[in-house]
Structure 1
Amino acid sequence: MVFSCGQNSAEKQLNGDWREIENEYSTWHFYPDDLVIKIPSYPNGIYDRTEWSANKSKIEFELREFGLDSLGNKIDTINKVLINYKLSDKKDSLFGTLKNNYGEYKFSLLKTENYIKYLNRKFGIEFTLPKNDSNGLKKIDPVYGMKIFMNLENDNIVGKTELSNSLNSLETDIKEFKNKLESYFGSYDLRTERFYLSVYADKQIPDSMITANLAVTIKSNFFLNNEYDAIPIPRPPGDTLPITIYRMYESDKNKNLGFRMAKKIKTIANTVYN
């Protein structure tokens, strides 16, 4: 594959930071000299830096892969990738089909300045996070947090979750999100007990208003007939446990993958165990 030194008009339109709509952990960073790509959800995953070329409908690049042959010897192969794509009228959304040695992969991307702008566009709600004041903030793992978005319009909260367009189905959304955390042990997977509410609220909204708008009670059978416990797990005191709420803050960490900065705030949401 031959790559030219200068960029054509199609390549210049692609320059910048893109994030996958279907999976926020998949990122594409197009630069004049190379492409930095991370797609953990694709079979075998893709994490690489490579040269690339494009025209108005196709993107091409090659990924070097290492493996073992049937005798256990190391082998070095080239995975040629072709993407058929189309840009939106504003040139800030991309819809494509990736073809390589493993098959086809349909995806779509948003071009944004940072992670928060990505959330604004993907979920259709504007908010400006409070700035990182380093007071009581901690790093949290985003995998266990269901995103909630809040803005203030005419002194009233406008909110939605990552699963629905309002806060009216909060109990249903929480149950659906926790179901996605279940793995081998099904409904008895302890990872679901790490669940928390990850709130992206505008800086004008006080913590107390967030707490008041997330007053939800979830019923759970987690401790009932848990057949996977060699030693029974003690039931929570009073058969209830609070649902943790973390308020997200503006931080350089929020533009990257991995842990994000947040502050734990008061909660009146809880889980009631049968």
Structure 2
Amino acid sequence: MFSIHPIPAFSDNYIWCLADQDTGKALIVDPGQAQPVKDYLAAHNLVADTILVTHHHPDHVGGIKNLQQAWPDVRVVGPAESPFKGSNHPVHPGDEVVWQGLTFDVLAVPGHTLDHLAYFSPTQVDGKPVLFCGDTLFVGGCGRLFEGTAEQMHQSLSTLRDLPGDTAVYCAHEYTLANLRFARSWLPDDQALADFEQQCQARRDQGLPTVPSTIAAEKSLNLFLRWDDPAVAEAAHRYCAEQGLPSGSDSEIFAAVRHGKDHF
């Protein structure tokens, strides 16, 4: 039996643990810190078997060497073309990663970084297909464009937007409330956004994560996936007129939302 749990790290990171309760093996996603992972695995009688890396940033890979010392045989799966050279099982977009009978499709999602990958399994875990998307897609947001272009990120988000609607979105940060504050500033009359913000605030007040979301929820709520929504397009056109930015194509509307969030 499989289950997925967040391991909090730093101030707002989530390291994901996919556990096989029958074998005691664990797949760890983006371990930026080792100690929280070691503590969690020890508390739940699990052994690190595989590590998935979405991209090279230190808050996603910083704990890997330490975990390899604790579990020398751990498989480290990461992008082949990457500044991070610690993978012993490098993968390319289009490859598959098999773990305990689960198959993950390796998706190219550049934008936040050029090496960024996402891992998608159509097999249901906790009742839903699984997406580990690192810093590409957040609940209500998307990653900053540190290395890629707005066009690349728009294409990457299009790839994720086309996944099944019930897919659970396991992103790597608790940025939800900040993302929703920005979204509400652009669409103050969007009642669904207001209701969702209230729900997320209630979860945070209880010390609970707002992650995972689903692809369907993000398509209806997340401004960064709503470039073809007339309300978002209208807000983007207004913003672009003020900023002197182009706003004709879908990717330009996305770029306007990203620019707006960067300067919010």
TM bin (shorter chain)? under 0.3
TM-score by length of 2: 0.27
> Comparing both structures, which one devotes a greater share of its residues to strand?
1
More helix by share: 2
Higher alpha-carbon Rg = 1
**What TM-score do the two structures reach when normalised by structure 1?**
0.27
